[in-house]
Structure 1
Amino acid sequence: MRDQAHKLKTLVTRRQKAGSRVLAITSGKGGVGKTSLAVNLGILLAQRGHQVILFDADLGLANAEILLGVSSNCTLYDYLYRGRRVEDLLHPVPGGLRLISGGSGVQELAQLNEQGRERLLALLLFLQSDTDFLLVDTGAGIDSLVLDFVAAAEEVLLLLTPEPTSLTDAYALLKVLQRRGPMPRVFLVVNRASGREAERVASRLQLACRHFLQWEPVYLGFLPEDRNVGQAVKEQHPLVLRFPFAPAARQLEKIASQLEGKSACDRGLDGFFRRLCKIFT
């Protein structure tokens, strides 16, 4: 009992000091495993005692719901314009996560009226009281809506694979992102690669960024080819819950640990929502 009380006190102190963190998880192209990374990373952070919310901001695809084997009956649009409660919007899912389903509400963010802005800021106030990590699963590519979410976040996790097209598209996303204003803190994860191969891929992207953009992202880790990943997707069960000792799950734990060890940025949730409102008005 004493150990549990100490753990709770430590967690509360850590949250007060660190503040909430907003991490946009994105990729230069689709099909690289972005949503799987978002779902499993969120679960691992939740298992470490953090309050984690996963915001599925990939317009109309609802891939996070598919991977989690759930179906939400309240989307961001329902909350913004149909009077649904914030408690209805936050959907508990396996692994200790809470899920916000974007649905058509993501597109509506680009045309927020006064009512929508007030509801969005009310959501911010609710989340600030009990959120350590807000993981934003964006769409892929350099669509304007994708870039809006990525630019609003102060931390970005960029997923790529060793394929040349993935590397090129990842650089293109970073190049366009830099033109939009202050650059967020960017972490790289290389999927479907060995450790050495991932380091080579990350080094190539870092070199290009250093040479042409006078800036470079931080390499966070890699995920190996693992047949358990595909099996977990078929079963609609998160990898780290279905196959916790699989090679990819072990690497995800290392990535979660690395990410957890990074200090929070200055503005967190407040900065993210206010930048969104500024972008969408």
Structure 2
Amino acid sequence: MDQAANLRNIVKRADASIKPIGARVITVTSGKGGVGKSNVSVNLAIQFKKLGKRVIIFDADFGLANVEVIFGIVPKYNMFDMIYNNKDITEVLTSGPLGIEFISGGSGVQELLRLDKNQLAFMIEKLYELDRLADIIIIDTGAGISDSVLDFVAASSEVLLVTTPEPTSITDAYAVLKAIKRRHNNVDQKLINLLVNRTDTIAEGKEIFNKLNKVTNKYLDLDLTNIGYLPNDKHLVKAVVEQKPVSILFPKSIITKGFEELADRMINGTPQPEQERGLGNLFNNILRLKKFT
């Protein structure tokens, strides 16, 4: 048995009696920065929690620590400490509002993807613990089409792609889809939800989805799922300044209502991938896509 096969066996080994199918992993990404991706990750996590789900956010943006900024919490440790300072996964977890926990990736995300085979296998064993601690794991990636972002997006079975009505944002969202298609031959097996943020009307959001989906279908042979739209709301800007999630600071705002409806659709109203659940399987996919195979 070759080394790659050995690694895959390590990744697949889970405690079935505790977590038979693993956590649902949702990778949130965008083609450019400034579209509200991290706010979506945080407030979606809050609404999932209110629906009774155990939620962990994995901040995989090694350049910007947006999740901790939105929460207004400075973590004691990040992913780097788990890789190089022998910290346990539970020590790296930071508690946020409502019992939501998050992992600050920091430079550790980039380091994680640079590990050799044996180091990565060891890290995967540690990351498996998250599948036992959460029902849903939200991965908040960096923006754009860097290798580190595409490693997560291409390996994920469920992606939430965030865009806005700005032409550059729509173009960059298409660039992400094009890059995923180029890297992953089975991209049609993914669930790719398109979320249009900061819309002035529902009609505007529908128009953007229809245009992008039409082009994506024609040139990439890929169908997107219309997961919905989030409205423009000045309360979100105020919440960012206060370093508190808008769903907590302004629970009656229209943007909070939008997040409530989005979470409900994702739990009760849309199909979910039936296979490859769990963070361990996601990293197994990264192994297959990278040089280890």
Do the two structures share a fold, i.e. TM-score over 0.5?
A: yes
Aligned to 2:10: none
Q: How many residues get paired?
A: 267
Is it true that 1:165 corresponds to 2:168 in the alignment? yes
CA contact (8 A) 1:154 1:265 kept: no
Q: Distance in 2 between matches of 1:80 and 1:241?
A: 33
CA contact (8 A) 2:77 2:92 kept: yes
Q: Distance in 1 between matches of 2:78 and 2:24?
A: 22
Match of 1:220 among 223, 227, 241: 227
CA contact (8 A) 1:24 1:137 kept: yes
Amino acid at match of 2:213: Q
After superposition, where does 1:14-93 map in structure 2 within 5 Å?
19-93=22-96
- Cα distance per residue 1:24-47 (max 9 Å; x no partner): 100111100000000000111011
Q: Distance in 2 between matches of 1:214 and 1:264?
A: 19
Match of 1:191 among 175, 193, 197: 197
Aligned to 1:206: 213
- Cα distance per residue 1:140-191 (max 9 Å; x no partner): 1111111111111110000001111111111111011011112121001111
- SS of 1:111's partner is coil
After superposition, the Cα gap between the structure-2 partners of 1:280 and 1:37, relative to the gap in structure 1 and judged at 3 Å, is: farther
Aligned to 1:271: 281
Match of 1:240 among 247, 253, 256: 247
CA contact (8 A) 2:23 2:132 kept: no
51-60 vs 263-272, which deviates more? 263-272
Identity of paired residues, percent? Answer: 38
CA contact (8 A) 1:80 1:120 kept: yes
CA contact (8 A) 2:193 2:224 kept: yes
Aligned to 1:12: none
Q: Distance in 2 between matches of 1:72 and 1:121?
A: 22
After superposition, the Cα gap between the structure-2 partners of 1:84 and 1:19, relative to the gap in structure 1 and judged at 3 Å, is: closer
- Cα distance per residue 1:103-146 (max 9 Å; x no partner): 01011023113553233222233122232111110011111111
Amino acid at match of 2:250: F
- SS of 1:268's partner is coil
TM-score, length of structure 2 as denominator length: 0.87
TM-score, length of structure 1 as denominator length: 0.90
Is it true that 1:130 corresponds to 2:130 in the alignment? no
Amino acid at match of 2:204: E
Q: Distance in 2 between matches of 1:86 and 1:17?
A: 20
Match of 2:260 among 244, 253, 271: 253
Deviation at 1:268, TM superposition (A): 1.1
CA contact (8 A) 1:187 1:218 kept: yes
Deviation at 1:81, TM superposition (A): 1.4
- Cα distance per residue 1:41-78 (max 9 Å; x no partner): 01110111111110111113111000000011111110
Q: Distance in 1 between matches of 2:169 and 2:26?
A: 21
After superposition, the Cα gap between the structure-2 partners of 1:79 and 1:18, relative to the gap in structure 1 and judged at 3 Å, is: closer
- SS of 1:141's partner is coil
CA contact (8 A) 2:88 2:126 kept: no
Is it true that 1:178 corresponds to 2:184 in the alignment? no
Deviation at 1:210, TM superposition (A): 1.2
Amino acid at match of 1:117: L
Amino acid at match of 2:195: V
CA contact (8 A) 1:81 1:116 kept: no
CA contact (8 A) 1:124 1:273 kept: no
CA contact (8 A) 1:68 1:238 kept: yes
Q: State the 4+ residue runs in structure 1 displaced beyond 6 angstroms.
A: 15-18
Deviation at 1:264, TM superposition (A): 3.8
